[in-house]
Structures are given as structure tokens and as C-alpha cells.
């Protein structure tokens, strides 16, 4: 992630620098949008180049965006999910939005690289682009207004710090990664390694399980067989892969929490329930509910106001069954 200045949003509050962004109570949907240009009732057209079906996190994030940019709020949101996570379908949708002359484009990229030409076309057409969740590589932040996401490096660093503290005498660990080419995968590996610091934990293997519970289970089954079950920690880069690993551990006769610990990122309901039930050991939220923030940024961008190049969405860590139980009832995703 660019080392550029980032601002942290205080929940529900705060003015930061020249910019005031309140991350209202997540996904309240009662957006303050006023049609994007401060008071007139004209409709602002938003092209949303989205990922589409991918898992519980993605569903929550994209639904929150659609629930926020409503007609009542003064927006015409054109939702364009990728076809089978294919980047070409995203680039085609992006190009169509530029040709159509939408007012602003929201982009959640399936692949980190390959966006320069599209972003330059939008810039020539004076259409602001806001990155949601996923970054681009190389990270040329002159090509977009801002990126809105939790900080993957910091989130994963907290997972690594927890792992190092949990295994002071070391042990063997494996990583279940998201798909190759997705920017957050590299950011999470970087953060986890930073958090591990001088830990004597040994990495036995790292493989993609493509964000999927089914693949997380099959990949971890193979890893267990290859190591004769001698794995004490799994860092799963999202909840679904961690839940799949938990199934594999159970079928191998291992007890999660005793024989092996499983840490995941996202904080979706199923993972929080699994943490409460002892089937996961640590879950770091990667808060998907930033639609209100995205709407406020769109309004600032269309009003020509300054916006920081990275807007970090705060996300909490949950390291015990009790911590998960405390939030389960009110969980919004």
C-alpha cells in the first residue's frame, strides 16, 4: 500500500484535516446524499464496477454500497459485477461507464494490475474514480481520487502479532491465500510477516484456496497429510478458507484450539459464530460496511474538494469465544 498519508475515520464522528467524514453507524442506509452537488435534486449517476459473487464479505460490501447509493439519496447506481471474477468483464464495464459519461466510478478490482489505461481514460473524461476495498498495482494514486478500505497490512500485522504471542516457543504454520494477482493477498502477507517479527514460528507452506471454504478444506487436508498433521497454526486470509480448514482439522481428528489454531480475516457472521463455538481461534474484522463513507467521498469529489488518497475503515480483532459472543447478536454482516 502506498505510504501516502492516510486518515482514520472515527466512527460516527470527526473532522480530519480539511475533510470531515463520519462513518455513521454502519449500513444505516440513511445516507445524507443530496444528489451529489450539494442541494440540487438532480440525480448523480454512479458506475459501480464490482466483483460480484465471491463470498459473505463481498456480498455484505456490495449490498451496503447498493443500499447507500439509492434513488432516494439522489443516485442512479449502475451495478456491474464481474463475470466469473474475470477482469476483462470489469474493464469492459468500466469502459462502458466512461463512454456513457457517468458522474463517478466506484471500482473493486478483481485483479490489482492492468488498470492504467482504463483509469487514464476516465481521467481524460474527467470522471473521478474511487477504489473500494482493493488497490491497484502499481499504485499510482494520481489516477484515482482515493481508496476506501480497512488497512490490510495493519489488519494482518495484528494477526501476526497475535500468532507470535500465542506461540512463544514456535511451531509450524501454513497460509491459505486468496487468488494470485489480488492486491490484498500481498498486503496481508506483508502485514502478517511484519507482525510475526522474530517469532520462531516456521512457515511450512502457503497456497491459494481462492477465498473458498471447499478449497480451504481440500488444500489444508493435503497440507496435513504432507506434514503428518504437524501444523500448529493456520493463517487463512479470509473466513471461508479458515472455516474449510477447521473442517479438515476435525476430519483429521485434530481439535481446533488445542492441536491447531486457526486465524482468519473478515469477521463475517459464520466466522464469529465459529469463534464463539471454538472452531476458529482468532478473527480479525475487515469491515465491509463503508457505504456511508463512500457516499460522502463521492460528494466531496464531485464538489471538487480535497480527499485523502487512502481512507482507512477501522476494524476490530476478536481473540476469544467471549469476544465473539459479545457482538454476535448485533452483527450486521
Q: Which residues bind ligand AHR (CB under 6 A)?
A: 54-55, 57-58, 133-134, 184, 211, 238, 265-266, 286
Q: How far is the CB of 62 from ligand AHR (least distance, A)?
A: 11
Separation between Cα atoms, residue 27 and residue 63, nearest integer Å: 9
- Find the shortest distance in angstroms from Cβ 333 to ligand AHR: 11
Between 146 and 238, CB nearer to ligand AHR: 238
With respect to ligand AHR, which residue has the nearer C-beta, 238 or 293?
238
Smallest separation (angstroms) from ligand AHR to the CB of 240: 7
Nearer to ligand AHR, 9 or 184 (CB): 184
Q: How far apart are CA 172 and CA 117, in angstroms?
A: 43
Smallest separation (angstroms) from ligand AHR to the CB of 264? 9
Q: What are phi and psi of 104, to 5 degrees?
A: -155, 150
Q: Which of 312, 303, 313 is nearest to 4 (CA)?
A: 312
CA dihedral 313, 144, 6, 189 (to 10 degrees): 70
Compare residues 60 and 77 and give the one whose CB is closer to ligand AHR.
Answer: 60
Strands annotated E in the chain: 6-8, 15-16, 19-20, 44-50, 75-81, 104-107, 129-132, 146-149, 171-177, 201-208, 233-236, 261-266, 282-285, 310-312, 317-318
- The helix/strand/coil state of 11 is strand
Nearer to ligand AHR, 73 or 289 (CB): 289
The Cα–Cα gap between 125 and 105 comes to 12
Q: What is the edge-to-edge ordering of all strands in the sheet holding 233-236?
A: 201-208, 171-177, 233-236, 261-266, 282-285, 317-318
Q: How far is 192 from 164, CA to CA, in rounded Å?
A: 10
Burial group, residue 206, by CB count within 10 angstroms (0-12, 13-18, 19+): middle
Residue 60 or 73: the one with the smaller Cβ distance to ligand AHR is 60
Smallest distance, ligand AHR to C-beta of residue 211, A: 4
| Minimum distance from residue 28 beta carbon to ligand AHR (Å) | 22
CB of 55 to ligand AHR, least distance (A): 5
| Dihedral class, residue 326 (left if φ above 0, else alpha if ψ from -120 to 50, else beta) | alpha
CB of 275 to ligand AHR, least distance (A): 16
Pick 50 or 98: Cβ nearer ligand AHR: 50
SS3 (DSSP) at 13: coil
Nearer to ligand AHR, 104 or 213 (CB): 213
Rg, C-alpha atoms of the chain = 20
Amino acid at each position: 500500500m502506498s505510504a501516502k498519508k492516510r486518515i482514520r475515520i472515527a466512527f460516527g464522528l470527526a473532522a480530519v484535516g480539511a475533510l470531515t467524514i463520519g462513518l455513521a453507524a454502519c449500513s444505516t442506509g440513511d445516507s445524507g446524499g443530496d444528489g451529489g452537488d450539494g442541494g440540487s435534486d438532480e440525480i448523480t449517476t454512479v458506475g459501480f464496477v464490482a466483483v460480484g459473487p465471491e463470498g459473505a464479505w463481498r456480498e455484505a460490501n456490495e449490498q451496503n454500497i447498493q443500499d447507500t447509493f439509492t434513488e432516494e439519496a439522489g443516485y442512479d447506481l449502475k451495478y456491474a459485477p464481474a463475470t466469473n471474477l474475470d477482469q476483462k468483464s470489469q474493464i469492459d464495464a468500466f469502459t462502458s461507464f466512461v463512454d456513457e459519461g457517468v458522474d463517478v466510478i466506484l471500482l473493486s478490482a478483481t485483479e490489482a494490475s492492468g488498470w492504467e489505461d482504463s483509469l487514464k481514460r476516465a481521467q481524460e473524461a474527467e470522471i473521478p474514480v474511487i477504489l473500494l476495498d482493493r488497490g491497484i498495482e502499481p499504485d499510482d494514486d494520481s489516477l484515482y481520487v482515493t481508496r476506501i478500505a480497512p488497512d490490510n497490512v495493519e489488519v494482518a500485522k495484528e494477526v501476526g502479532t497475535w500468532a507470535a504471542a500465542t506461540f512463544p516457543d514456535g511451531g509450524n504454520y501454513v497460509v491459505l491465500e486468496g487468488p494470485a494477482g489480488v492486491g490484498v493477498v500481498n498486503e496481508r502477507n506483508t502485514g502478517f510477516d511484519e507482525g510475526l517479527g522474530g517469532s520462531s514460528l516456521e512457515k511450512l507452506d502457503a497456497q491459494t484456496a481462492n477465498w473458498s471454504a471447499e478449497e480451504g478444506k481440500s488444500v489444508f487436508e493435503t497440507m496435513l497429510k504432507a506434514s503428518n498433521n504437524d501444523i500448529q497454526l493456520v493463517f487463512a486470509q479470509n473466513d471461508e478458507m479458515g472455516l474449510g480448514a477447521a473442517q479438515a482439522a476435525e476430519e483429521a481428528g485434530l481439535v481446533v484450539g488445542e492441536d491447531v489454531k486457526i486465524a482468519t480475516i473478515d469477521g463475517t457472521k459464520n466466522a464469529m459464530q465459529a469463534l464463539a463455538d471454538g472452531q476458529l481461534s482468532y478473527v480479525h474484522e475487515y469491515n465491509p460496511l463503508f457505504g456511508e463513507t463512500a457516499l460522502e467521498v463521492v460528494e466531496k469529489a464531485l464538489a471538487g474538494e480535497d480527499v485523502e488518497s487512502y481512507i482507512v475503515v477501522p476494524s476490530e480483532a476478536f481473540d476469544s469465544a467471549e469476544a465473539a459472543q459479545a457482538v454476535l447478536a448485533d452483527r450486521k454482516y
